[in-house]
Amino acid sequence: MCGEAISSPHIQPVMQPSLKIFSGTGSQHLTQQICERYGCEPGRIKIQRFSDGEIQTTFEESIRGSMVFLVQSTCAPADNLMELLLMIDAARRASAYKIVAVLPYYGYSRQDRKDKPRVAIGSKLVANMLTAAGADRVITMDLHAPQIQGYFDIPVDHLDSSAVFIPYIQQLKLENLTFAAPDVGATNRIREIASYFNAEMVICDKHRKRANEIASMVVIGDVTNKDIVIIDDIADTAGTLAKAAGLLKEKGARSVRALVTHPVLSGKAYENIAGSVLEELVVCDTIPLKPGAPEKVKVLNIADLFAVAIRNAHENKSINNLFIHSQRRDK
């Protein structure tokens, strides 16, 4: 009847979608640690290969209506990337509420621009594939170039290794701390960390003949009697690190150590590290180390960092508290 009062129905509170974390074969140990920090068990997923190597992924529990986090570093072999794409597609077809691709290491990030004729931009291609497969969000760490985030049309949470590197550097208590950028492209990253410590920085300017081969290198800045910390995102063959460390020592540095986020460490990397003047090479566990690592290689765990990022993404909270490199010590 017109004009009759209508009683308002009881409004039910919005329920948070359930969270489930699954691992690809390339990040099982890290995923287990993330789940331990989060207080849950990794989800059940079956990843099998046919005789010819073709991959098949199957979720062995219901994920309908769940916010699904798929953890997989896309390091070599390329099967890890294909596996992640199939996991995303399977989750989408299983009616997941949201699909978050968690890539501690984002492979192909070094191919971020067309720096010579007739080459692919691999990092853009990977971004397109992740989005096309059905990812709603990406969580990653220390992209080779921060602007790669712009290759995505979905949200990207870009974590920073300074959250684990800065506490490690603080406990070293180095007297004449100076930071070194392994190339000109790393200067912004190094400048922020050097500013945090009110420390100086130098640059190792290098020129390459081709990938993984350095033609020449010079040091810009004074390193005499300094304790040098080189910071970089990727160590592949470790040839750059070994050469930079040797050059810094020749120029009068008292000690040289390197902190690198992603330990790709291929080819003669272990041999290069063992034979270098580096005091130590400190890496994050975004990629599992291959057997036989020299004693100089130390690993920092990032499970806490990713567990908090996953929790905040699930609860729609900011991840700003995970970034400490812009906070000066004297504030």
Mean pLDDT (whole number) for 136-156: 96
Cβ of 196: how many Cβ atoms within 10 Å? 21
First-to-last alpha carbon distance for the chain, in angstroms, is 66
Catalytic residue, candidates 206, 226, 243, 298: 206
Angle at 86 between CA 82 and CA 88, to 5 degrees: 115
Structure tokens that stand for 36 in this block:
């331990």
d(CA 92, CA 95): 5
> Percent of the chain scored above 90 by pLDDT?
79
pLDDT of residue 136: 98
Q: What is the pLDDT of residue 330?
A: 46
Query: What does the block give as tokens for 108?
Result: 């192909």
CA angle, 265 as apex, 264 and 269 as ends, to 5°?
A: 160
What are the backbone angles phi and psi of residue 48, rounded to the nearest 5°? Answer: -130, 160
Q: Tell whether pTM > 0.85.
A: yes
Q: Please report the pLDDT score of residue 33 as a whole number.
A: 97
Q: Could you read off the pLDDT of 48-86 as tens digits, one per residue?
A: 999 999 999 999 999 999 999 999 999 987 899 999 999
pLDDT digits (tens, 9 = 90+) for 163-197: 999 999 999 999 999 999 988 778 888 998 999 99
Rounded Cα–Cα distance for residues 88 and 68 (Å): 9
Please identify, in words, the CATH class of the domain defined by 162-301.
alpha beta
Give the residue-averaged pLDDT of 209-235.
83
Say whether 206 is catalytic: yes
Which pLDDT value is given to residue 77?
79
Length of the chain: 331
CATH number for the domain whose boundaries are 19-160+304-322: 3.40.50.2020
For the chain, residues classed under CATH 3.40.50.2020 are 19-160+304-322, 162-301
